[in-house]
């Protein structure tokens, strides 16, 4: 057969084959999968943002997480913009937005959009359930291509979970992050990583790039949504958020165990019994099998959280609750992101690295206050500058919310400043009737095993009666002071965010007050506003007096607790059951 005839026959065969393929029905499963994928991308794109600076320059991506306009993005996206920015959405509209809170170490920022009360919000997923091989979508504004605000989509798989990325300079430490081969390019920063069902599992932030073209090479990293959930309450507080430290340095021994190589004696972990050479087995419910595994867990936790720690010594296991410290000292993190030459961060052993290890940080958003002059009125109305805060407006609003809840039903014109609490106490050392009197200057207690008084005009850090309580009378006096004078008369008060509380399924609101050098942590139910617990720290580096409140009942129009459980140094002092409250004018002394 000659070549022309052969080619003719092959052509005819290919044409027939192609016709058969085209005429064949596509399996319904394939069409269904395609339709589902298109629907997921469409819904996910609705909540995705193109984030720009107030003048329309720069930018990145973001994602709406609540119908009232709260959205997540990267800290490094918001840092150049200051407090105000513009956000484009899939509906083709541009919305004004204000900065709420920032987590510079974790590279997360919370912003709030204005103009609607029905923003399409993404559903937050569970990143701990993500596994390598899961299908994912990266949606955002790579290379600022979304000039019409319609985001771009890339498709890929999860390449790895629980990845640790060392800090970029002294900030931007990516811990416990998700790795994906879906393209994350410049401009995707701050945008969402969705799973195959369209739930939000991460915020894209870093990638490995071909150096000359800044093009993704198939290795990108997203901050896990579970880490962000832990910090979300803090971010809503308008704060510059700090991460947690155990107050200890760990290393791997010859057997591969993670053991304590150094520890601060003023850390809560030390007070709970952790010592040199102890093996760290679990933290916050996560197994610790390497040094990086501990860094991963700590990186997902804010300072002041109290989490379970399991450690092993001489073959015996111990489980305790530890209160986590902050990586940075007071004001240190704010200085870092302000551009001011601040001191380098302390290591967990308390020592500072050498000066030449400092890296110039990005500008703090509050330093761009001049940009706010041209911002829309709605942004100016929702921004308040204060040292140490990303946006104090939101902190002040939460303080007022809790203050109103505390004093609900309280008539300041009829208030009496001397309270008498009677009832009974049950404890390991005795039980029987009790009577506590709380006045503005003096308090007293009559218990089956203690009778004494406390002078609140003395140095408060030394008012620790009754013994083995850490200062119960002082703690109750400060609780009473919050009721009588509110937050304005208490002293320095800050809303911290939401924290876990042992015995409660949901996180609770944390308000910290400072009065005469004494620090008090007030923890509230976020729904009812009831005070659930109080921790009073008479001094730095000591255990607090802990009071857990319950059995709330109405007394003269006020909702007051009729059960106090008192703990000190993880030991229960006793349970107070209040049968009556009496209010009267304090006797002049």
Domains of the chain and any CATH numbers: 244-326 (2.30.42.10), 406-584 (2.50.20.10)
Q: Give the Cα separation of 384 and 368 in Å (integer).
A: 13
Instruction: Count Cβ atoms below 10 Å from residue 379 Cβ, excluding itself.
Output: 20
Q: What is the pLDDT of residues 251-307, one digit of tens each?
A: 999 999 999 999 999 999 999 999 999 999 999 999 999 999 999 999 999 999 999
Report residue 532's pLDDT band, with 50, 70 and 90 as the boundaries.
Answer: very high
Kindly tell me if the per-residue pLDDT of 343 is higher than 60. no
Report residue 249's pLDDT band, with 50, 70 and 90 as the boundaries.
Answer: very high
Give pTM, 2 decimals.
0.87
Percentage of the residues of the chain whose pLDDT score is greater than 90 = 63
- Mean pLDDT over residues 206-212, rounded? 63
The active-site residue out of 103, 107, 176, 181 is 107
- Catalytic annotation on 107? yes
CB 227 within 8 A of CB 299: yes
Kindly tell me if the per-residue pLDDT of 354 is higher than 70. no
- Catalytic annotation on 76? yes
Q: Give the Cα separation of 561 and 221 in Å (integer).
A: 48
The pLDDT value given to residue 302:
96
Q: Give the Cα separation of 120 and 48 in Å (integer).
A: 9
Block residue for tokens 């009065």? 515
Q: What is the pLDDT of residues 217-248, one digit of tens each?
A: 678 899 999 999 999 999 999 999 999 999 99
Q: Give start and end residues of each alpha helix (H) in 193-224.
A: none
The active-site residue out of 45, 81, 152, 189 is 189
DSSP state of 544: P
Kindly tell me if the per-residue pLDDT of 187 is higher than 70. yes
Between CA 119 and CA 115, with CA 229 as vertex, the angle to 5 degrees is 20
- Mean pLDDT over residues 499-517, rounded? 93
Phi/psi at 242 (5° precision): -110, 155
Phi/psi at 129 (5° precision): -95, -5
The active-site residue out of 45, 47, 61, 76 is 76
Kindly tell me if the per-residue pLDDT of 344 is higher than 50. no
Burial readout 250-269 (b: 16 or more C-beta within 10 A, e: otherwise): beeeeeebbbbbebbeebbb
Burial readout 411-447 (b: 16 or more C-beta within 10 A, e: otherwise): eeeeeebbbbbebbbebeeeeeebebbbbeebbbbeb
């Amino acid at each position: 057969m000659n070549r022309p005839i052969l080619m003719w026959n092959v052509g005819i065969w290919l044409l027939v084959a192609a016709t058969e393929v085209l005429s064949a029905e596509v399996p319904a499963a394939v069409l269904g999968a395609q339709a589902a994928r298109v629907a997921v991308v469409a819904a996910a794109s609705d909540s995705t943002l193109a984030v720009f600076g107030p003048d329309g320059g720069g930018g990145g991506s973001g994602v709406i997480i609540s119908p009232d306009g709260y959205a997540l993005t990267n800290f490094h996206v918001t840092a150049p913009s200051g407090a105000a920015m513009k956000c484009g959405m899939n509906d083709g509209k541009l919305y004004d937005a204000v900065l709420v809170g920032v987590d510079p170490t974790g590279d997360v920022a919370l912003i709030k959009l204005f103009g609607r009360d029905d923003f399409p919000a993404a559903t937050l997923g569970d990143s701990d359930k993500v596994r390598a091989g899961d299908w994912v979508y990266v949606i955002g504004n790579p290379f600022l291509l979304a000039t019409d605000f319609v985001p771009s989509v890339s498709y890929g798989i999860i390449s790895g979970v629980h990845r640790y990325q060392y800090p970029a300079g002294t900030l931007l430490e990516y811990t416990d992050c998700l790795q994906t081969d879906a393209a994350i390019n410049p401009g995707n920063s701050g945008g969402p990583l969705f799973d195959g069902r369209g739930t939000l599992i991460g915020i894209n932030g870093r990638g490995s790039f071909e150096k000359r073209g800044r093009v993704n090479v198939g290795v990108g990293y997203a901050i896990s949504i579970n880490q962000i959930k832990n910090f979300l309450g803090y971010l809503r507080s308008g704060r510059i958020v700090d991460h947690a430290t155990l107050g200890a340095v760990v290393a791997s021994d010859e057997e591969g165990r993670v053991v304590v190589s150094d520890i601060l004696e003023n850390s809560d972990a030390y007070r709970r019994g952790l010592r040199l050479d102890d093996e760290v087995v679990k933290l916050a419910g996560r197994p610790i099998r390497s040094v990086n595994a501990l860094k991963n867990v700590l990186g997902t936790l804010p300072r002041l959280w109290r989490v379970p720690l399991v450690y092993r010594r001489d073959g015996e296991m111990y489980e305790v609750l530890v209160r986590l410290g902050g990586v940075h000292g007071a004001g240190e993190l704010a200085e870092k992101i302000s551009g001011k030459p601040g001191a380098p961060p302390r290591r967990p052993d308390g020592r500072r690295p050498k000066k030449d290890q400092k890296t110039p940080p990005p500008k703090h958003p509050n330093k761009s206050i001049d940009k706010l002059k041209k911002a829309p009125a709605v942004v100016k109305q929702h921004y308040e500058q204060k040292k140490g805060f990303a946006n104090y407006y939101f902190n002040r609003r939460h303080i007022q919310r809790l203050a109103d809840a505390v004093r609900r039903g309280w008539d300041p014109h009829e208030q009496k400043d001397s309270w008498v609490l009677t009832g009974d106490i049950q404890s390991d050392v005795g039980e029987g009737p009790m009577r506590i009197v709380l006045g503005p200057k003096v308090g007293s207690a009559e218990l089956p095993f203690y009778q004494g008084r406390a002078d609140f005009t003395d140095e408060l850090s030394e008012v620790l009666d009754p013994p083995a309580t850490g200062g119960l009378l002082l703690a109750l006096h400060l609780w009473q002071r919050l009721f009588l004078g509110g937050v304005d008369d208490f002293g320095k008060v800050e809303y911290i965010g939401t924290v876990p509380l042992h015995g409660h399924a949901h996180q609770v609101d944390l308000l910290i007050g400072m009065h005469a050098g004494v620090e008090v942590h007030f923890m509230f139910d976020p729904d009812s506003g009831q005070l659930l617990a109080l921790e009073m720290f008479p001094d730095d580096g000591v255990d607090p007096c802990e009071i857990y409140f319950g059995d709330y009942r109405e007394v003269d129009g006020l909702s007051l607790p009729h059960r106090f459980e008192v703990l000190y140094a993880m030991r229960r002092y006793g349970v107070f059951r209040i049968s009556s409250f009496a209010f009267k004018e304090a006797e002049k002394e």
